[in-house]
Structure 1
Amino acid sequence: MLGSRQYVEEWAIYSNVLRSTGVLNNTVWLDIRGNHDNFNVASLASEENYYQKYSIQGQRHQRSYMYTYTRGSDSVAFIAVDACLLPGPRRPFNFIGMVTASEMRLLEEFEMASMRHNYTIWFGHYPTSCILSSEPGIRRLMGRGLAYMCGHLHTLGGLVPNMYTRQHTGSLELELGDWKDGRIFRVAAIDHGLFSFTDLNHGTWPIILVTNPKHALYAMKHHEPLHLIKESTHIRVLLWSLCAIAEARVRIDDSNSWLALSHEEGPLYVAKWNPNTYVEGLHLIEVFARDASGRVATLTQPFSLDESQPSFRFWPRALLMSNISMFFQFLFGIMVCVCVVPLCVLRYIHHLVLERRMIRPRPKWKICNMWLRKLWVLVSVDRLFWPIVVTAVYLPVGPWFVGEVIEGHIGVVFAWGTIVNRSYLPGSLTYAYGFFQMLVFHLPLILAVAHCIDFRFLSLYVDPLCSFPRYLCRHVCVLLLITMQMITAYSFWLAYGTMALLLGPLRTWSAILGIILWYQSSTMHKDLLRGAAEVWAPRCQDWDDDTISKAYGSQEHVAQSDL
């Protein structure tokens, strides 16, 4: 679960299953690779590119392709989008896909060719929010199609189980949960130009798919002949099960009277209806099915004849309609500013106070005043302030590590991109890692070091006594952060090798920086804290320990003194 490799044995099993079962004789099998099928692939000709050897379509097409399916007078163009990075790095920086300019031109040719067909379905591994593309943009290019079907996000571990949306172009984008762990699959149909689908868990029987009237949420008024629903004479339902369907019926709006669904051919079941009864607003259609073995299933969904529609949920829309790369780039920039700007402003204020050009701020709340003092003491010491600020400024600009980004190929990873095998891969998920690095390490490190140096300051200028709980509180936070950072450095070593561990400012060097700052803040000499003392302990700044004892009488008295 930590490495980045493909297993040729798995590919061989995949290929053997397809051929030994004879499924290819009865089914058009369209496969397309994703980021896990692109681990450690230096080029399309690489021996690690198992997709070309063991998949069905990979032996015919190197990357994206178009397949036309014809049935009677109708034809459907299926356009597969391969957005895998080329070359394909190891994890974790292979999460975002990219459609290059040459690949975009190929897809534009497919899109033009698809106009000769009745319908177009796009599919690929990455959602459009996880694809970098040149103009006109992958979403606009897909805009004429009925739907773009994808995966990759795994429904966020079940947190967003129905990750569907309608893009601004009017077509649907439908993410599907994984088969490996979730055992989820999709059944879709085109009925007189009306696109319908349902996502199911394996073992769900009977399977019910209502094609007319179609689900109101997924209606596309600019892509589908929705007027055909009002003109139709029959409700149409597709039913499948492991054995014959023994009973099928339908009702609308919780009516007490059920309509029997009669079998036409194959999985098609129909029932006569009068659509004029439901011309306004949203209505509910409910289908009940039972097979000969007694398994039952019920499906309820809304429909409308006047283009009334429910709304898609917020999180599916946000995840599928956003630009994840730009989102994390924005968050990364915000975190860099959070870790740099307040410290610089506070250092400037410190100098103004020392020069008697400004009075020290005195927050009303005690906790705010306490943390103001901690951060003030930190910024007053050059050997703490400059390493923290320079490191935060370095992360958006300098290299994060040098290592085997691809096995046998040394690469350099920056926040803004990766250079490997004479290729440049633009920054994408790197911004997310930069954001989390700042959030879970750099910002907490600032607070922990400020807390530690404040203890040192108080022990030198206010209270020389230190109990064990206070001593433990002084060091445990910094040590915990350094330990966590070393664990992440170890994961980088597993992924990219020893070179990445040694030449890794992002993880390894950050942990070393934490150790240095912890040591400096714990052993800081009194003279280096005189600037802070002039502001926060002006009466004690020139006193040594003997002077303090004489002035207050005893160390116990000193321990009780107030800042």
Structure 2
Amino acid sequence: MEVCFVGFDSTMEIGLRGPTNLFGHPTDQLLSDLDMELSQWDAESAKSSVRKIAFGHFPLSFSAPADSGKSLKDVFLKHSLSAYLCGHLHTRFGKNLKRHHTLLSGKYYQFNVHEGLSDVGNESCSKNAEPIKEFWEWEMGDWRKSRAMRIIAIDSGHVSFLDTDFKFGSRDVIILPTFPLDSRFMQRISYSRDYKCQTMKISSYESIRALVFSRKVIVSVSVKIYDSMPGSLSLVLDQVMMKHNGNGTRGDMYVSPWNWRAFSDSSPDRYWLQIEAIDISGSSSFSQIRPFSVNGLTSRVNWRWKEFFVWVANGLICITLFCGLSFQFFSHCFSFHKLFLGVRRIITLTRKLVQVSLEVTL
């Protein structure tokens, strides 16, 4: 398994800063370089599986298209990235600023995490079938203010992550389940085809796996699976996980064989997974409980108003800047001093607009 990490900077080089530095400004040259860098791994993907991950500062909704009209999203869809990691807004508008992108999803805004997600189940198993163009956009918190950290794991082609913060000090135990994946924020449309057509190795399905990072000696790790069909979480599996030696990671990998076919279901959030680790002092630590779908179905998630407001504010700011600058240009095109004062007024009004909107939201 090969992994390609590509980072880039889409900030403006010269010119007016605030408030335009609120947005990323990728150039055609940057998009061309990014495309070329990602294309270098296409030859490797023919020999073995390659996972491509890009990272930058600005989310796509705050990134302008280049002069040619081409955007970062076009490049990422072309290469079907596993994920694009970004920041900028961080956790100011909630911890759920994640988006799954396809050719059908909104260009600048979406009404939910999975907008444009096509119905799965009708995928062709033909070798000549066109691969699905998709990628995840995972915005993450910052270390400076939020003391947030993200751990990413790639396990047999499955990309997973865990967000944790250290606002109240360090943690003795951190648990990251690597398979099965969270059906809300990590599942790809292509996973449904992989399950149906068995394009991935069956061995990757045959065990539950988790990474455990601990400052203390871990004496036991167990996996618990709950069934939500009765209307409440009912424990249906509770078994010990064994430590896998020589996994080559900083954390310890724990595995547990299971009858994965028994958990295949038409609902993407019927079954829920949680990992428990007990250290030498007898203290128990738990992973975040999360839904999973072994047959690759995606559990849809709707944004709360605070998270949806990000895309509304983005549109309001763009409209305000465009209308304001146009008016000031035509009204004061012969007076640079008045034009400068006009731009300052627009910046002030824009900031007040965002501040008032935030107060209404909060």
The TM-score, its normalising length taken from structure 1, stands at 0.46
C-alpha separation in 1, matches of 2:332 and 2:252? 58
Query: In 2, Cα distance between the equivalents of 1:83 and 1:153?
Result: 15
Q: What secondary structure sits across from 1:309 in the alignment?
A: coil
1:136 CA drift (Å): 2.8
1:514-563, Cα deviation, whole Å (9 max, x unpaired): xxxxxxxxxxxxxxxxxxxxxxxxxxxxxxxxxxxxxxxxxxxxxxxxxx
1:161 aligns with 2:95: yes
Q: Does 2:37 match 1:129?
A: no
Q: Structure 1 residues 245, 251: CA separation in 2 closer, same or farther (over 3 Å shift)?
A: same
Please provide the CA RMSD for this pair.
Answer: 3.6
1:43-71 deviation digits (Å, cap 9, x = unpaired): xxxxxxxxxxxxxxxxxxxxxxxxxxxxx
Q: Note if 1:221 corresponds to 2:221.
A: no
Superposed CA deviations along residues 170-208 of structure 1, whole A, max 9, x for unmatched, are 211011111011110001111111111110012233111
> Which of 118, 139, 144 lines up with 1:180 in the alignment?
144
Q: 1:76: Cα distance to partner?
A: 1.1
1:260 and 2:249 equivalent?
A: no
Matched position secondary structure for 1:154: coil
In structure 2, relative to structure 1, the CA distance for the partners of 1:81 and 1:104 (3 Å cut) is: same
**Equivalent residue number for residue 119 of structure 1:** 51
- Aligned-pair CA distance for 1:292: 2.6
Q: What SS does the corresponding residue of 1:84 show, helix, strand or coil?
A: coil
More strand by share: 2
Matching of residue 286 in structure 1 with residue 281 in structure 2: no
- CA–CA distance in structure 2, aligned partners of residues 414 and 108 of structure 1: 39
Deviation at 1:251, TM superposition (A): 1.4
Q: Name the residue aligned to 2:25.
A: 98
Q: Which amino acid aligns with 1:241?
A: S
Matches within 5 A, 1:71-82: 74-82=1-9
Query: 116, 136, 139: which is aligned to 2:73?
Result: 139
**SS of match in other structure, 2:141:** coil
State the alpha-carbon separation in 1 of the partners of residues 15 and 279 from structure 2.
47
Rounded to whole Å, the distance in 1 between the matches of 2:312 and 2:36 is 25
Deviations 1:142-189 (A, max 9, x none): 121100001110212xx4122212112521101111101111000111
Tell me the amino acid that sits aligned with residue 255 of structure 1: L
Aligned position for 2:209: 236
Which one-letter code corresponds to 1:292 in the other structure?
Answer: I
In structure 2, C-alpha distance between the alignment counterparts of 1:236 and 1:214, rounded to whole Å: 10
Cα deviation, 1:437-463, whole Å, max 9, x if unaligned, reads 68999xxxxxxxxxxxxxxxxxxxxxx
Measure the CA separation in 1 of the matches of 2:7 and 2:222.
37
Cα contact 2:189–2:297 (8 A) shared by 1: no
User: How many residue pairs are counted as aligned between the two chains?
Assistant: 289
Mapped partners of 2:317, 2:14: distance in 1: 23
Compared CA separation, residues 104 and 83, structure 1 to 2 (3 A): same
Whether the 8 Å contact between 1:235 and 1:272 is mirrored in structure 2 is yes
Q: Following the alignment from structure 1 to structure 2, what is the Cα–Cα distance between the partners of residues 246 and 439?
A: 51
Q: Say which SS state the counterpart of residue 21 (structure 2) adopts.
A: coil
State which structure, 1 or 2, has the greater radius of gyration over its C-alpha atoms: 1
Change (3 A) 1:181 1:437: closer
Task: Report the CA distance shift for 1:440/1:104 in structure 2 as closer, same or farther (over 3 A).
Answer: closer
**Which blocks of at least 5 consecutive residues in structure 1 are unaligned?**
1-73, 337-390, 404-410, 419-429, 442-563
C-alpha spacing 1:132/1:90, structure 2 compared with 1 (3 Å): closer
1:427 maps to none
CA distance in 2, matches of 1:162, 1:301: 14
Please tell me whether the aligned partners of residues 86 and 138 of structure 2 are also in contact (alpha carbons under 8 angstroms).
yes
- Amino acid paired to 1:205: D
Task: List gaps (5 residues or longer) in structure 2.
Answer: 45-49, 103-132, 227-233, 246-250, 357-362
- 2:176, 2:212 within 8 Å by CA — same for their partners in 1? yes
1:199 equivalent in alignment to 2:163? yes
Q: Which amino acid aligns with 1:191?
A: D
Q: Alignment partner for residue 272 of structure 1, among 257, 263, 283? A: 257
State whether residues 210 and 254 of structure 2, in contact with CA within 8 Å, keep that contact through their aligned partners in structure 1. yes
Measure how far apart 1:312 and its partner are: 2.6
| Distance in 2, Cα, partners of 1:77 & 1:197 | 16
- CA distance in 2: counterparts of 1:102 and 1:319, whole angstroms: 32
For the Cα contact (< 8 Å) 1:146–1:223, is it kept in 2? Answer: no
Distance 1:205 1:171, change over 3 A: farther
For the residue of structure 2 that corresponds to 1:199, the secondary structure is strand
SS of the residue 2:25 aligns to? strand
Matched to 1:267, the amino acid is D
- Conserved in 2, the CA contact under 8 Å of 1:78 and 1:120? yes
Percentage of identical aligned residues: 22
Query: In the alignment, is the contact (CA less than 8 A) between 1:329 and 1:431 conserved in 2?
Result: no
- The aligned counterpart of 1:212 is 179
Letter in 2 for 1:219: Q
Out of 303, 323, 335, the position equivalent to 2:292 is: 303
Structure number with greater CO (CA < 8 Å, separation at least 6) is 2
Ranges of 4+ aligned residues in structure 1 off by more than 4 Å: 88-92, 223-231, 315-320, 322-327, 396-403, 411-415, 430-441
Higher helix share: 1
Question: How far apart, CA to CA, are the structure 2 residues paired with 1:200 and 1:440?
Answer: 28
Q: Aligned to 2:292, what secondary structure does the other structure show? A: strand
Counterparts of 1:439 and 1:172, CA distance in 2: 27
Quickly say closer, same or farther: Cα 1:127–1:89, change in 2 above 3 A: same
Which secondary structure state, in structure 1, belongs to the residue aligned with residue 144 of structure 2? Answer: coil
SS at match of 1:105: helix
TM-score normalised according to structure 2 size: 0.69
Contact 2:181 2:187 (C-alpha < 8 Å) held by counterparts: yes
